[in-house]
Amino acid sequence: MGQLDTTRKPGCALCVADGGFLVVRNLKLRVIRVLDVDYPGFYRVIWNDHAAEFTDLPTADRVYLMDVVSKVESLVREHLQPTKVNLASLGNVVPHLHWHVIARFADDMHFPQPIWGSAQREVAAKRWDGLRAELAILDTAIRAALS
């Protein structure tokens, strides 16, 4: 998947699978859309080679990765107009370097809590129908920005 197949770690979910709907992949990283019914504007930027921490990367790769995260965030904002965009790099469950880029809305299930926090309200699935219609356009814009 990445530059060096020797950097795959057996058993690592992000070494062996895309991690969601693949939007774009290059030699260094990939952008996927997380298929989450409650958070349709949820993307991940995943480093292809196995690295656990951001500082495991050389400086040039760190700069490149953050540039891609910034581009994805900017496009999410432009196309979905969320209340807020959450950026996170946790890796507690899957210790493979990846950034979450999550469109948040004041009426989503967890807002203002993180999406992994306590639910604040119920949200009808149809709430996201209009936003889902924009995702193919957003995916195309992400591909174009990263090509």
Give pLDDT, residue 103.
98
Number of domains comprising the chain: 1
Q: What's the mean pLDDT in 129-141? A: 95
pTM: 0.91
Give pLDDT, residue 10.
76
- Banded model confidence at residue 5, pLDDT cuts 50, 70, 90: very low
Separation CA 63–CA 40 (nearest Å): 27
pLDDT in tens, 13-35: 898 889 899 999 999 999 999 99
The CATH number covering residue 21 comes to 3.30.428.10
- Residue 39's Cβ-count burial label (10 Å; 0-12, 13-18, 19+) is buried
Domain with 19 in it: 5-146
Give pLDDT, residue 100.
97
Give pLDDT, residue 2.
38
